[in-house]
Amino acid sequence: MTAERLVENLDEAEAAQELARLQSILATANVEYYQGDQPKLTDAEYDALKRRNAEIEERFPHLKLENSTSEQVGAAPADGFGKIQHAVRMLSLGNAFSDEDVVEFETSVRKFLGHVSGPLEFTAEPKIDGLSLSLRYEEGVLVQAATRGDGATGENVLANARTIANIPQAVEGAPDVLEVRGEVYMSHADFDHLNAAQTKAGAKTFSNPRNAAAGSLRQLDAAITKARPLKFFAYAWGELSDPLAETQWDAIERLASFGFDTNPLTKLCETPAEMISHYRKIEEQRATLGYDIDGVVYKVNDLALQGRLGFRSTTPRWAIAHKFPAELAWTRLEGIDIQVGRTGALSPVARLAPVTVGGVVVSNATLHNEDYIAGRGNKGEKIRAGKDIRVGDWVQVYRAGDVIPKVADVDISKRPDDAEVFAMPQVCPKCGSPAVREEGDAVRRCTGGLICPAQAIEKLKHFVSRAAFDIEGLGAKQIESFYEDPQLPIKEPADIFTLRTRDDSSLTKLANRDGWGATSVKKVFQAIDDKRKIELSRLIFALGIRHVGEVTAQDLARHFGSWEALSENATQARPAALAHRAADEAEALERELAARDGRRARVSEVRKTAITEQAVPFDAARAWSFLIDADGIGATVALSLSDALANRDESGAIARLVAQLDEIIPPKAQHSESPVAGKTVVFTGTLEKMTRAEAKARAEALGAKVSGSVSAKTDFLVAGPGAGSKAKKAADLGVETMDEDGWLSLIGDA
């Protein structure tokens, strides 16, 4: 393609000419997609031309052609997909890898429910290897289609879903609000056909049917989706105005009666043995099904029981995916590259002679860490019978579903004579700073902090990632190219927020970048400005502090309520944090000495002395204990947080970022409508209507905290028959005490 002139530099005559040229290319491309499956343009090229067409039309609306391709069916906005908040979260499934795991799953279900008499039924059905889709029907009409996204928010792909032949546009006899969930997939035959067509057209081919299905559904232009043969299996539901049935089985039958395809290999089972036997049967048929599956899903059949079992944070307790074994292949290890991560971790990555593993070409695989390469596990035990891995070796590569491939084994009988023992570099290969391995850490880390470009870039990528600032149009790829940009570099998060104002000609400079144009630059500016208002938990997570993942960030946000409170506390607690680190070191030394002398280690004594010697000021000690008192926060997180905020470079970068933000939104009080939200409850004695685990899970779901012992902080004691000392203590402390029925009526479940 010839170099294109910036849209903003075109005059009217040129614009008209350019629109005509684009119209002709796009119309031809559409016909190719619709009819011949022989696209000559790659998806990216097609998208870029569409975007350019739209930009010119936006600048010269009166030049828009009557039959403009931008007006044709399903032409979606060029700026990506709209977002849809799921009415009911779309979750994932826990995994079982062995028959024992299945038995344990059934046992755990029974145990949670406590009093199930007689058989417990489960459905067993193939786990389709595609991507999940939620379809919403209102008064029988398809009105919304959303991908799973992060579970809470998905992408609006309605125009695309409408092109899938076996998705009903309308349903009869269904509840007024019906959300049908299932899997979009591509059959093997359709996949082969698509790839052959792509190859013929010189376009990009897909590595497997799942990617092809995902790439086809998530098309900005529904015309492309329409030309790609996708199918849908319904297996679950989201929001419903009326229940579908009383059992999973009947609910699926009802979905089938509305016109959805449901999987014919679904079976009702009464015992783990039946479930496992059905799994084997499906596994035998796997190769001849004509579409990819990666396991079997078991679901509790009784929907009332499903309701009682409820969910963990991201998976239901009433279902599990029994995965097929991973796929293996042997190949030559050609080299070991070292990647440097966000927290400085040096990760060895295997460079492999390309090999097909389960239908996907693999040329890189993880080697975890230096111990793994040496044949040692994380407790120093032998793995692979102690065999080490060397460049030149013949290695076994393992891949399971979406998991990053890993090197699982080595055949030392094929080892070349000159193969050398691998040695991890002692300096960071990216910045030359010393790379050190601390006591108890399996990983060697670059000590360069933010001066290490690799760490800085990874931190920035994390900062813009989906669970963090999630800035549309500014993803990992862009961040990488901006880091070294000579004109408008982004070296730290605050630089993202000064992109627009840093330079009078920011817009022009950015619009001249490859793949950008004035319109997309403006959109990115807007997307950045939109994030000047951010939830506290996202901000904390986005900082990329070691040990502070999404859940910990939420815990910290809830505990402190504001950024100021958190950072003030961490600063104040610094002397105590240092004392605790000194105590950890003293403890480790004492353990080592005790082991050498064959005596018992006096760790608590040593710890106490070490802390006292540091003479921790009272306010620091108080701040420290407030910090580690937070739910889910222990000394490891507290120390890491304290280190990050005490580090000059890091805290400087954080302060510059915070100065760019307009509002840091405190966390919402959870379930404030429930009278037990935020309260601490203790269960004691025998519960008769639910098990302890169920009681705890339900209380927590309503925002209550469940504790094992009664104290002045306890708000309610729920005492069943046989309650003893806890009931007495509660009475002494004046804690409100009730029986199980009282509790159920309090939580509105009597």
Residue 127 is a binding residue for ligand IVH (CB under 6 A): yes
Marked catalytic residue, from 40, 83, 127, 523: 127
Q: Is 184 in the site for ligand IVH (CB under 6 A)?
A: no
Paired strand residues for 707 = 682
**Which element (helix H / strand E) includes 184?**
strand 177-185
State the SS3 of 382-414: ECHHHCCCCCCCEEEEEECCCCCCEEEEEEHHH
Q: Does 106 bind ligand IVH (CB under 6 A)?
A: no
Contact 497, 660 (CB under 8 A): yes
91 binds ligand IVH (CB under 6 A): yes
Q: Does 93 bind ligand IVH (CB under 6 A)?
A: yes
297 interacts with ligand IVH by CB under 6 A: yes
Interacting residues of 148 by C-beta distance below 8 A, sequence separation 6+: 90, 131, 132, 133, 134, 154
In the complex, the smallest distance separating the C-beta of residue 144 from ligand IVH, rounded to whole angstroms, is 18
From residue 167, give the alpha-carbon distance in Å to each of 35, 163, 258: 21, 8, 10
Residue 127 annotated in active site: yes
User: Do 669 and 678 form a contact (C-beta atoms < 8 A)?
Assistant: yes
Span of 57-65, 88-96, 204-212, 555-563 interacting with ligand IVH by CB under 6 A: 88-96
Q: How many CB atoms lie within 10 A of CB 287?
A: 8
Question: Of 95 and 207, which has the nearer Cβ to ligand IVH?
Answer: 95
Q: How far is the CB of 238 from ligand IVH (least distance, A)?
A: 10
Q: Give the range of 134-142, 314-322, 538-546, 585-593 binding ligand IVH by CB under 6 A.
A: 314-322
Which one, of 158, 160, 144, 155, lies nearest residue 83 by Cα? 155
Comparing CB distances to ligand IVH, the nearer of 57 and 292 is: 292
Q: How far apart are CA 57 and CA 71, in angstroms?
A: 11
Residue where the block lists tokens 């693999």: 362
3-class DSSP state for residue 695? helix
By CB under 6 A, is residue 305 in contact with ligand IVH? no
Of 17 and 166, the one with the shorter C-beta distance to ligand IVH is 166
Pairing state between β 663-665 and 153-155? unpaired
Does residue 134 belong to the site contacting ligand IVH (CB under 6 A)?
no
Asked if residue 411 lies in contact with residue 394, where contact means CB atoms within 8 angstroms, the answer is: yes
Question: What phi and psi, each to the nearest 5 degrees, are found at residue 362?
Answer: -115, 130
Residues pairing with 345 in the sheet: 445
183 binds ligand IVH (CB under 6 A): yes
Asked if 98 interacts with ligand IVH (CB under 6 A), we say no
For residue 152, the Cα-to-chain-centroid distance in whole angstroms is 11
Evaluate whether 179 touches 226 at the Cβ level (below 8 Å): no
> Minimum distance between the CB of residue 161 and ligand IVH, rounded to whole angstroms?
15
Residue 431 DSSP one-character state: T
Binding range to ligand IVH, per CB under 6 A, among 105-113, 121-129, 153-161, 200-208: 121-129
Q: Which is nearer to ligand IVH, 285 or 625 (CB)?
A: 285
Interface with ligand IVH, residue 235, by CB under 6 A: yes
Measured from the CB of residue 308, what is the shortest distance to ligand IVH in angstroms? Answer: 15
Asked if 125 touches ligand IVH (CB under 6 A), the answer is: yes
Which residue among 316, 344, 449, 493 contacts ligand IVH (CB under 6 A)? Answer: 316
The region of 23-31, 91-99, 355-363, 547-555 touching ligand IVH under the rule CB under 6 A is 91-99
The only residue of 113, 321, 577, 620 in contact with ligand IVH, by rule CB under 6 A: 321
Q: Is 252 in the site for ligand IVH (CB under 6 A)?
A: no
Q: Considering beta carbons, is residue 93 or 697 the nearer one to ligand IVH?
A: 93
Q: Is 55 in the site for ligand IVH (CB under 6 A)?
A: no
* Shortest Å distance, C-beta 283 to ligand IVH: 15
Q: Is 544 in the site for ligand IVH (CB under 6 A)?
A: no
Q: For tokens 């755990």, what's the residue?
A: 108
Report how many residues bind ligand IVH under the rule CB under 6 A.
Answer: 14
Q: DSSP class of residue 32?
A: I
- Kindly state whether residue 30 participates in binding ligand IVH, applying the rule CB under 6 A: no
Instruction: Determine if 230 is a binding residue for ligand IVH (CB under 6 A).
Output: no
Answer yes or no whether residue 236 interacts with ligand IVH by CB under 6 A.
Answer: yes
CB of 99 to ligand IVH, least distance (A): 19
Q: DSSP letters along 618-665, please?
A: HHHHHHHHHHHHSTT--HHHHHHHHHHHHSHHHHHHHHHHHHH-SEEE
Among 132, 134, 163, 343, binds ligand IVH (CB under 6 A): 132
Stretch that binds ligand IVH, among 38-46, 90-98, 152-160, 384-392 (CB under 6 A): 90-98
Long-range CB contact pairs, 97-104, < 8 A, 24+: 97/322, 97/323, 97/325, 99/272, 99/276, 101/320, 101/322, 102/272, 102/275, 102/276, 102/279, 102/298, 102/320, 102/322, 103/272
217 binds ligand IVH per the rule CB under 6 A: no
- Edge-to-edge strand list for the sheet holding 231-240: 141-147, 131-138, 177-185, 231-240
The single residue among 96, 128, 518, 719 that binds ligand IVH, judged by CB under 6 A, is 128
The residue ranges that bind ligand IVH (CB under 6 A) are 91-93, 125, 127-128, 132, 183, 235-236, 297, 316, 319, 321
Task: Please identify every residue annotated as catalytic.
Answer: 127
